[in-house]
């Protein structure tokens, strides 16, 4: 949705981030654990990030993504584990000694400082010469189209402007790693979509490593090179957006990213026996009883009885969604998305196909 | 939500305006009557016991004392203020001015010490867990449950020559053998700070409790060390609490006479003592009123100055 690369085959080649050669691991997170009182928030989280990658930590609230980000920023202490940034272990460094900057969810601008001084804060803290501060701050304000408001105070800015100041304030320090904690949650939907694209372009242009925390799957797919889907303190799946979307590994990922038809079934010799009949799958599942998944837009309306995984179904509901129709059919209930060109009527009986290449065998 | 509608009440041709007030249909007059019945008693109280005495006090300040004790001659004269400035029939004396300056000085020092003690204390209390926090706040407020005179008298016992504090002072060499620690300026300061500390703690505490700590985190994230973080992320956020604390400590410290009376000895004069002396001792009501008037003006002026400064700090 809104992402041109969603279904494009071969989009997985984006891993190298637009032709830039992937260098050695920039950030290495190893076995991070964290508990608050008796609640375990992070369970041995490990991943690596290459230089210049845009990584998204995606998950529902309470999955530990923000805690993980705060540990990287130095605002929270990990119970165990290790983090290496450019080969240096950083967990023992206090927040103000790390080459890492953060864009906070609430922006956390200094209310008594104007835009210029907000952006200059980090440079002044490191005793940069005045001329250098002016040069860099002006550059950052230019980059984020804030050059007209250097004298304004935070309370005189709109939400979008505040967000850009927060971004400028972090980027002006040229950090090795930029952390973004749901920076768009306070913006309205239209502005958010715009800012997402801006952010992605900005990151590509600067070639810096960004880690973004969000619970918005659209946002994650729009901006990131790679998505780490988190749930209950662990990473459920990591991969490029197309891979995570097209080949979810388990029920959680399938349901959290977009809509999915989950079909529970039982393994038999010829495939998986489900309420829709016995379905053929690409590879034999590891389980006895488990789940198959297929995206609504991948269910095909066939002309006749297809060769594989054909289902003869009755249209029960038709909902017009502008660029497509959402259709619910029985048996199922199976949800599908069909382009407006395909004419269907409620009560009509049709042949559907669950194409082999899009029918995913989930791990659970 | 108030909505009005016009309707004709039965038997009359004059329209009555009906008012919908919080889901209740009523008339404007009924609402007004209800409002006045709520406001009336406190308003009358304030007029009777605050406004009228204040006007009387100001008027009294411009009157003259008759030769007979307590009598007042209702004229208009600036005599009392001349006298306060030090002009007497025998020439000029700076005694009264010195008392006023000393009062301001002592109130200022008390305020500074109280706020300096209260500021870290407020942070300490606010950082505790719920139960400990309420306990500590309770402890801060316990002195309010005791009469001020009793509390100050307790200090006279603690400062007496037989008690350890005085003995320690003797041992260190601050005072001579067998001397009590009071009456002295030191005792007055201790009494003042201990009396007014809660007034400083509570507003700062409420401020600290509402503080936005992500701004502190942001400063930390932007390479700020302790001092820079404090100056840019903590202090600006606590300015309102600090101002309230300063005002709430300074005003009573300016007007007090009990503390200086009990712990400062008979020769220790503050504006408060002077007013008390004129009203209750000498019975010169017009002169006492004039001093009170000056005290009020000085206090309001300093609060006003502080407010102006606060605004300047906020926009700086």
- Residue ranges and CATH numbers for the domains of chain B are 88-315 (1.10.3720.10)
Which of A141, A90, A106 has the alpha carbon at shortest distance from B217? A106
Please give the C-alpha separations between residue A12 and each of A16, A246, A360, in angstroms, as whole numbers. Answer: 9, 11, 18
Compute CA distances B277 → A227, B21, B262, B267, B271, whole Å: 80, 55, 14, 12, 10
Of the pLDDT bands very low, low, confident and very high (cuts 50, 70, 90), residue B174 is confident
Asked whether residue A3 carries a pLDDT value surpassing 70, the answer given is no
Which residues of A are less than 8 Å from B222 in CB distance? 96, 101, 121-122, 125, 169-170, 173
Average pLDDT estimate for B250-266: 87
Q: How far is B226 from chain A (nearest CA, A)?
A: 10
For A77, phi then psi, to 5°, come to -95, 135
Q: Which of B220, B222, B229 to mutate to test the interface with A (most CBs of A within 10 A)?
A: B222
B272: pLDDT strictly greater than 80 = yes
Q: Which of A73, A102, A125 sits opposite B224 (nearest CB)?
A: A125
Task: Report, as an integer, the average pLDDT of B278-285.
Answer: 86
pLDDT at B78 over 70: yes
Position B15 scores a pLDDT of: 66
> Has residue A364 got a pLDDT over 70?
yes
**Is it the case that residue A256 has pLDDT exceeding 60?**
yes
Angle made by CA atoms B55, B59, B61, in degrees to the nearest 5: 120
d(CA A192, CA A219): 9
Q: Is the distance from CB of B152 to CB of B263 less than 8 angstroms?
A: yes
Are B157 and B234 contacting, i.e. CB atoms less than 8 angstroms apart? Answer: no
The C-alpha angle with vertex A321 and arms to A319 and A326, in degrees rounded to 5, equals: 45
Radius of gyration, CA atoms only, chain A: 24
pTM score? 0.79
User: Is-contact A223 A183, C-beta < 8 A?
Assistant: no
pLDDT class for B7, splitting at 50, 70, 90? low
- Give the residue among B271, B281, B302, B277 at the shortest CA–CA distance from B96: B271
A76-117, pLDDT tens digit by residue? Answer: 999 999 999 998 999 999 999 999 999 999 999 999 999 999
Residue A109 confidence (pLDDT): 95
If 0-12 CB within 10 Å is exposed, 13-18 middle and 19+ buried, where does residue B70 land?
Answer: exposed
3-class secondary structure, B116 = helix
- Evaluate if residue A136 carries a pLDDT over 60: yes
Give the best residue of B212, B217, B218 to mutate against chain A (max A CB count within 10 A): B218
Mean pLDDT of B105-130: 94
What CA–CA distance (Å, rounded) separates A120 from A349?
66
Give the per-residue pLDDT at B1: 47
| Peptide bond preceding B183 in cis form (omega within 30 of 0) | yes
Residues of A whose CB is below 8 A from B313: 112
Q: In the structure, what pLDDT confidence band is assigned to residue B313 with cuts at 50, 70 and 90?
A: low
Question: What is the C-alpha to C-alpha distance for residues A29 and A211, in angstroms, rounded to an integer?
Answer: 13
Q: pLDDT tier at A8 (50, 70, 90 boundaries)?
A: very low
* pLDDT per residue as tens digits for the range A260-292: 999 999 999 888 989 888 899 988 889 999 999
**B223 with A173: Cβ contact below 8 A:** yes
Per-residue pLDDT band for A174 (boundaries 50, 70, 90) equals very high
- The beta strand positions in chain A, using DSSP E, are 25-36, 39-50, 54-58, 80-85, 88-89, 100-103, 177-181, 209-214, 226-231, 234-239, 261-268, 271-274, 277-279, 289-294, 300-302, 310-320, 325-330, 334-338, 349-353, 360-361
Place of tokens 């001792």: B281
Above 80 in pLDDT, residue B178? Answer: no
Contact A96, A52 (CB under 8 A): no
The residue among A227, A292, A299 whose CA lies nearest residue A55 is A227
Token pair 């230019």 is found at A142
When comparing pLDDT for A333 and A193, which is higher?
A193
The pLDDT assigned to A25 comes to 65
Residue-level pLDDT at B64? 87
Average pLDDT over residues A153-175: 94
Which whole number is the average pLDDT over A64-72? Answer: 95
State whether B217 and A96 contact (CB < 8 Å): no
Q: Which domains does chain A have, with CATH numbers?
A: 11-99+175-252 (3.40.50.300), 259-361 (2.40.50.140)
Looking at the complex, report in whole angstroms how far the Cα of residue B93 sits from the nearest Cα belonging to chain A.
48
At B119-152, the pLDDT tens digits run 999 999 999 998 999 999 999 988 888 888 998 9
Which residues, 6+ apart, have CB-to-CB distance to A7 below 8 Å? A242, A246
Q: CA angle, corner B203, sides to B198 and B204, nearest 5?
A: 95
Report phi then psi at B169, rounded to 5.
Answer: -60, -40
The average pLDDT across A7-17 equals 38
pLDDT at A10 over 50: no
Whether pLDDT at B24 is above 60: yes
Mean pLDDT of chain A: 89
How much of chain B exceeds pLDDT 90, in percent? 43
Q: Which residues are registered as beta bridge partners of A29?
A: A47, A83
- In degrees, rounded to 5, the angle at the alpha carbon of residue A337 between the alpha carbons of residues A336 and A340 is 140
Q: Is the dihedral of CA A277, A281, A284, A286 positive or negative?
A: negative
Q: Is 0.85 exceeded by the ipTM?
A: no
Dihedral sign, CA of B101, B107, B108, B110? positive
Whether residue B33 has a cis bond before it, omega within 30° of 0? no
């Amino acid at each position: 949705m809104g992402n041109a690369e969603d279904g494009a085959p071969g989009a997985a080649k984006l891993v190298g981030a637009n032709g830039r050669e992937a260098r050695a691991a920039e950030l290495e997170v190893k076995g991070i654990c964290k508990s608050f009182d008796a609640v375990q928030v992070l369970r041995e989280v490990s991943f690596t990030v290459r230089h210049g990658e845009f990584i998204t930590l995606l998950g529902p609230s309470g999955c530990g993504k923000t805690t993980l980000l705060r540990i990287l920023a130095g605002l929270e202490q990990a119970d165990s584990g290790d983090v290496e940034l450019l080969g240096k272990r950083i967990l023992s460094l206090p927040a103000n000694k790390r080459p890492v900057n953060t864009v906070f969810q609430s922006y956390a601008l200094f209310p008594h400082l104007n835009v210029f001084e907000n952006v200059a804060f980090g440079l002044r803290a490191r005793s940069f010469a005045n001329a250098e501060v002016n040069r860099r701050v002006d550059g950052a304000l230019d980059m984020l189209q804030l050059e007209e408001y250097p004298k304004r105070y935070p309370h005189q800015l709109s939400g979008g402007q505040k967000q850009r100041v927060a971004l400028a304030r972090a980027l002006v320090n040229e950090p090795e790693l930029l952390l973004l904690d749901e920076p768009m949650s306070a913006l309205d939907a239209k502005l958010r979509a715009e800012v997402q694209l801006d952010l992605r372009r900005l990151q590509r242009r600067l070639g810096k490593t960004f880690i973004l925390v969000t619970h918005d799957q659209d946002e994650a797919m729009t901006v990131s090179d790679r998505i780490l889907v988190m749930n209950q303190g662990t990473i459920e799946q990591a991969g490029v957006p197309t891979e995570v979307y097209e080949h979810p590994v388990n029920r959680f990922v399938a349901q959290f990213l977009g809509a999915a038809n989950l079909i529970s079934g039982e393994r038999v010799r010829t495939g998986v026996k489900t309420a829709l009949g016995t379905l053929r799958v690409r590879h034999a599942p590891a389980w006895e009883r488990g789940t198959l998944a297929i995206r609504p837009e991948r269910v095909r309306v066939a002309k006749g009885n297809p060769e594989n995984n054909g289902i003869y179904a009755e249209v029960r509901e038709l909902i017009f969604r502008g660029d497509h129709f959402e259709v619910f059919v029985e048996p199922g209930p199976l949800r599908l998305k069909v382009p407006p060109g395909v004419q269907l009527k409620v009560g009509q009986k049709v042949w559907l196909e669950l194409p082999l290449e899009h029918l995913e065998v989930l791990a659970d | 939500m108030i909505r009005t509608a016009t309707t004709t009440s039965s038997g009359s041709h004059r329209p009555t305006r009906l008012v919908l007030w919080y889901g209740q249909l009523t008339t404007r007059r009924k609402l007004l009557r209800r409002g006045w019945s709520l406001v009336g008693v406190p308003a009358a109280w304030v007029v009777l016991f605050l406004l009228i005495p204040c006007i009387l006090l100001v008027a009294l300040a411009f009157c003259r004392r008759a030769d007979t004790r307590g009598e007042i001659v209702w004229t208009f004269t600036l005599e009392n203020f001349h006298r306060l400035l030090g002009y007497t029939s025998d020439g000029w004396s700076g005694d009264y001015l010195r008392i006023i300056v000393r009062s301001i000085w002592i109130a200022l020092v008390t305020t500074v010490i109280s706020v300096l003690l209260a500021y870290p204390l407020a942070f300490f209390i606010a950082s505790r867990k719920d139960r400990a926090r309420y306990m500590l706040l309770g402890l801060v407020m316990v002195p309010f449950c005791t009469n001020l005179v009793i509390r100050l008298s307790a200090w006279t016992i603690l400062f007496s020559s037989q008690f350890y504090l005085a003995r320690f002072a003797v041992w260190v060499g601050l005072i001579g053998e067998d001397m009590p620690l009071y009456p002295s300026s030191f005792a007055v300061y201790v009494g003042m700070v201990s009396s007014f500390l809660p007034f400083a703690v509570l507003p700062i505490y409420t401020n600290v409790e509402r503080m936005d700590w992500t701004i502190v985190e942001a400063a930390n994230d932007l390479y700020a060390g302790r001092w820079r973080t404090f100056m840019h992320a903590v202090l600006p956020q606590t300015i309102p609490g600090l101002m309230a604390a300063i005002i709430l400590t300074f005003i009573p410290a300016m007007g007090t006479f009990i503390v200086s009376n009990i712990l400062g000895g008979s020769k220790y004069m503050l504006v408060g003592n002077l007013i008390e002396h004129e009203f209750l001792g000498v019975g010169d009501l017009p002169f006492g009123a004039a001093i009170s008037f000056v005290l009020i003006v000085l206090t309001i002026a300093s609060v006003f100055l502080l407010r102006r400064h606060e605004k300047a700090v906020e926009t700086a």
